[in-house]
Amino acid sequence: MKKTVIALFIILVLAAICFIPVTRKKTSVIKAPFFNVYEQLSKAANWERWRTDLRGKMAADSARVLAKSENNGFTMKFDSLQLRMKILDGYSFNINELKNGNQIEYNYVVTPDGLENQTTITVSERNTLISYVIDLFSNRSWSETNIADLKNFMETPDLYYGYRIYKIHVTDTSIVVLRKKVRSADKFTDAAKMLNELKQYIREKGLSETQPLMAQFFDRSNDSTQVNIGIPVNKKASPKGQIVYMTMPSTGYFYAANFKGTFDMKQKAYRQVYQYFNDRHMQIPILPFDTYLDNKLPVSDTSMIDIRINFPTF
């Protein structure tokens, strides 16, 4: 009887030990500015962007999303996920989530790295001792903490900025250009007239168009817009009136992004490419311009356009 009691006591002690809470930690470097990483974690709306299990789903079914801001954090419910995030001590993000009946608690500590545009992130996961031991032998990944999703999102420009931003050589080295300041209300009709004027000039000079047309529309003061239209041509030509010939160095580069949508929405793509430059402390020596890949100018703000945005760089 005594041996049975002792054995039972040992079993109970071992069982209790197995359920002692322990914490495991992992530190990684994310190649992205500290503020950008912090922003993705601190706002509920951003979690859909970087978590692969949520990406695109919440926006497609927004009526079922319940997100509520709280003091230094937020709560969020969607489908089988219930999540609460709390910011502790400024740089520490404590997350409790219940998904498909599985409860998990983990924490991110985000700090600026010693190198520029790098962030150190330490993820901690609370679990039981028995689970911790099993993890050591099974080499279980950190997938439940979604740390790989965050790192991949921040380090992949296509995902973070929402556009594929790529570097290309200058291809259009000879261009005829017409620039005019016009009334904003007339910018599209005047742009069409300018394009016709350029095409007439090209015929008169015996030139050939070599690439799709280029354009810039910049709002100015007093309800005016600066409209610049350019057409790449095959050879040099003398100026005529307001039409000038210009060149771009064949050794130059652009950072480019493609955009398809209405003309009035292209600024969204512009903002993302500007952010790309700002995050990397890159300079823009001249204002960006658009290549109209279908060789057609818009006729209104709601016209569908197919363009390549070109940001010159050194």
The pTM assigned to this predicted structure is 0.81
Contact by Cβ (8 Å): 245, 175: yes
Model pLDDT for residues 130-169, shown as the tens digit of each residue = 455 445 544 455 678 899 999 999 999 999 999 999 999 9
Query: What was the pLDDT predicted at 102?
Result: 84
Query: What was the pLDDT predicted at 270?
Result: 96
User: Taking each helix axis from N to C terminus, what angle separates 2-18 and 129-138, rounded to the nearest 10 degrees?
Assistant: 70
- Tokens for 34, please give them: 């500290």
Query: What was the pLDDT predicted at 12?
Result: 45
Query: What was the pLDDT predicted at 129?
Result: 46
Query: What was the pLDDT predicted at 142?
Result: 63
**CA 155 to CA 30: how far, in whole Å?**
7
**CA 135 to CA 18: how far, in whole Å?**
13
Type of residue at 227 = V
Query: What was the pLDDT predicted at 55?
Result: 86
Query: What was the pLDDT predicted at 9?
Result: 46
Tally of CA atoms within 13 A in the half-sphere of 100 that contains its CB: 2
Instruction: Residue 233: name the closest of 241, 224, 244 by CA.
Output: 244
pLDDT one digit per residue (tens) for the chain, 314 residues: 565 655 454 554 444 444 455 567 889 999 999 999 999 999 998 999 999 988 888 777 877 888 899 889 999 998 889 999 999 988 999 999 998 888 889 999 999 987 788 999 999 887 654 455 445 544 455 678 899 999 999 999 999 999 999 999 998 889 999 999 999 999 999 999 999 999 999 999 999 999 999 999 999 888 999 999 999 999 999 999 999 999 988 888 999 999 999 999 999 999 999 999 999 989 888 899 999 999 999 999 999 999 999 998 86
Query: What was the pLDDT predicted at 114?
Result: 77
Query: What was the pLDDT predicted at 80?
Result: 86
Query: What was the pLDDT predicted at 135?
Result: 54
